[in-house]
Amino acid sequence: MKQCPQCGVSVENDEHTCHNCGQSLKKEINQKSSKNNNIKRKDRTNKSTNQSSNIKIRKVVPVAIIFFIIILLVILFFLLRNYNSPNAQAKILVNAIDNDDNQKVATLLGTKDKKVDPDEAAAYIKYIKKEVGMKHFVRDVRNTVDKLNKSDSSVASYIQTKDGQDILRVSKNGRRYFIFDNMSFNAPTKQPIVKPKVDTKYEFKSGGKRKTVIADANKTTPLGYFIPGNYHIDATKETKNGVFTGTLDFNFKNSNSETVDVNENFEEAHLNIKLKGATKLTSKSKKVIINDRTMSYSNSKEFGPYPKNKDITISAQGKAKGKTFESETKTIKASNLKDNTSVTLDFDSDEISKYVTKKEKEENSLKNKLTQFFSGYSMALTSAKNQSNFDLISSYFKKNSSMYDKMKNSISNQQLVSLQSPQVLSASKSGDKILTTVQHIDENGQYVNNEYELEQASSGNDFNLIKETD
């Protein structure tokens, strides 16, 4: 069904005239047909135009994508070059040193085998600025990197101080992103060494960790490996005299070898001890007692070191005629301790003199008795040797003593040696034991000193010989 355009009545599709108003419907059909044809032609035209546009777009898109990728690659290259080219790598290190970036320098210089802590890096930075100069350092690094980058044969070179010491090793180490030479920057190392006079334990920080080093007395001991710098490392050291606080100081500028000497800068005091009223004490017997430790004394000896933060207790002792005498005891307060502290210890000289005088009288009497004893022994020894008869001298020995057996065997083996012109040089008595030194002439006509140990005899001779020492 369709509608009449004139009256709006519905008519059949195949009718050409409206049955109500007589309006012709053929023109409308033709108009619609024409309109439809125009629409179809327009659609075909649009379709053709769209197809042409699509073809052009398909040709342009790949070109645009390729151009975009090229732009990205160029941008990426410049970004990589800014951070990965040899000059860029060198610039990172130079800037870190110039800006005192201890942590960055520690990271850049650290290796798997040698960790560098920020304190080491700080010493390294100061050392470069003082011993090379920042302008010279920047110039040398750039020139070195350029030469290595352009060279096909050279793989490493060193930056040096004004004194010609190596301070930085620059080397080629493969490639980055298959484009740029990978540059490595390493600081050469040396071993600081100590040589303490006594066994010492050192504790300090190195490589970011606490480190302990045990050094034997009078032996060179390394503290580890350090990069160039002028170091003042906080440390403690422990000896049998106590625990000290201070620093371990060493400067690479002072070394032309693989090691550098350490200067120990600790809070320590040395003692110069003088003994007053001790002239009659034997030199070998003189001792000093410092903080309950007993040591041999010498007038020229310096004692220590000792920590300055603790009091020190000092006394002395010595022997005269076999008796031990003690000095006064002094306590030196920590506040009074200096690098070199002088101490004088007093003995009771009157007491010592009285005892020595008494013993000398006794010894003179003893020496006289021993002189008579050895004169008789000398004559008996000559007779026993001539007659090969041990009984002639047996009464001079303590039975079954080492000397008794020795002399008995000597006569049996005809090896007995005579004692000519004996002279008692010294004698001392302690309880029943007597020690004496006797000088005599041997069979070659030479003077010989022998030491004897005797004891008071219960009967017969005044003494009995126990043992002899040549």
Question: What is the domain-level CATH number for residue 447?
Answer: 3.10.450.540
Indicate if the pLDDT at residue 28 is higher than 60.
Answer: no
Q: Is residue 67 part of a domain?
A: no
Backbone conformation region of residue 431, classed left if phi is above 0, alpha if psi is from -120 to 50, else beta: left
- Check if the beta carbon of residue 441 is closer than 8 Å to that of residue 447: yes
Q: Which of 325, 347, 369 is the last residue of a domain?
A: 347
| CATH number, position 207 | 2.60.40
Q: Does residue 419 share a domain with residue 391?
A: yes
Compute and round to an integer the Cα radius of gyration of the chain: 54
In a domain, 394, yes or no: yes
Beta-bridge mates of residue 266: 246
Rounded alpha-carbon distances, angstroms, from residue 454 to 319, 366, 460? 21, 12, 14
Q: What is the pLDDT of residue 58?
A: 67
Amino acid letter, residue 64: A
* Domain membership flag for residue 133: yes
- Do 254 and 287 lie in one domain? The reply is no
| Shared domain check, 181 and 212 | no
Final residue of a structural domain among 286, 316, 347: 347
- CA dist., res. 45 & res. 63, Å (int): 28
pLDDT of residue 49: 60
In-domain check, residue 17: yes
- Which range has the worst mean pLDDT, 9-23, 412-426, 446-460? 9-23
- Write the pLDDT tens digit of every residue in 145-203: 888 878 766 678 899 999 889 999 988 765 554 455 567 889 999 999 999 999 999 99
* Residue span of the structural domain in which 415 resides: 354-469
Query: For residue 9, is pLDDT > 90?
Result: no
At residue 120, what are phi and psi to the nearest 5 degrees?
-65, -45
- Give 203-212 pLDDT, tens digit per residue: 999 988 899 9
Reduced to 3 states, what is the DSSP secondary structure of residue 445?
coil
Which neighbouring-strand residues pair with 467?
453
Please state, in angstroms and rounded to a whole number, the distance separating the CA atoms of residues 132 and 56: 66
Same domain, 100 and 151: yes
Residues 45, 99: one domain?
Answer: no
363 shares its domain with 342: no
Say how many C-beta atoms besides its own lie within 10 A of residue 425's C-beta.
11
Mean pLDDT, residues 436-446 taken together? 88
Does pLDDT of 216 surpass 70? Answer: yes
Task: Choose one of 20, 44, 61: the last residue of a domain.
Answer: 61
Selected residue with higher pLDDT from 18 and 371? 371
Same domain? 407 vs 324: no
Q: Tell whether 80 is covered by a domain.
A: no
Amino acid (1-letter code) at residue 431:
G
Which of the residue ranges 20-24, 263-267, 290-294, 295-299 would you say has the lowest mean pLDDT? Answer: 20-24
Residue 462, pLDDT above cutoff 70: yes
Each residue of 340-380: pLDDT tens digit? 999 999 999 999 999 999 988 888 888 899 999 999 999 99
Tens digit of each residue's pLDDT (9 = 90 or more) over 320-339: 988 999 999 999 999 999 99
Average pLDDT, the chain: 85
- Looking at the fold, whether 384 and 315 belong to one and the same domain comes out as no
* pLDDT higher than 50, residue 257: yes
Residue 447 and residue 460 in one domain: yes
- Dist. CA 184–CA 169, nearest whole Å: 8
Neighbour-count burial of 283, counting CB atoms closer than 10 A to its CB (0-12 exposed, 13-18 middle, 19+ buried): exposed
Q: Please state the domain count of the chain.
A: 5
Same domain, 433 and 361: yes
Phi, psi of 199 (to 5 degrees): -60, 130
For residue range 70-125, list pLDDT tens digits in order: 776 666 555 555 555 667 778 889 999 999 999 999 999 988 888 899 999 999 99
Pair (368, 461) in one structural domain: yes
Over 80: is that where the pLDDT of 454 sits? yes
Q: Please check whether residue 68 lies inside any domain of the structure.
A: no
Is 74 a domain residue? no
| Angle of CA points 234, 237, 242, to nearest 5° | 135
pLDDT of residue 100: 94
Q: Which of 233-242, 365-374, 405-414, 459-468 has the highest mean pLDDT?
A: 233-242
pLDDT band for position 461 (cuts 50, 70, 90): low
Q: Do residue 262 and residue 338 come from a single domain?
A: no
Per-residue confidence (pLDDT) for residue 177, from 0 to 100? 46
Average pLDDT over residues 425-432: 84
Q: Does residue 72 lie in a domain region?
A: no
At residue 141, the pLDDT reads 92
Listed range (48-57, 88-97, 213-222) with the worst mean pLDDT: 48-57
Contact status, residue 394 vs residue 401, Cβ threshold 8 Å: no
Q: Which amino acid is at 66?
A: I
One-letter amino acid of 409: N
Handedness of CA 322, 361, 421, 429 (dihedral sign): negative
Average pLDDT over residues 10-25: 70
φ/ψ of residue 38, rounded to 5: -65, -40
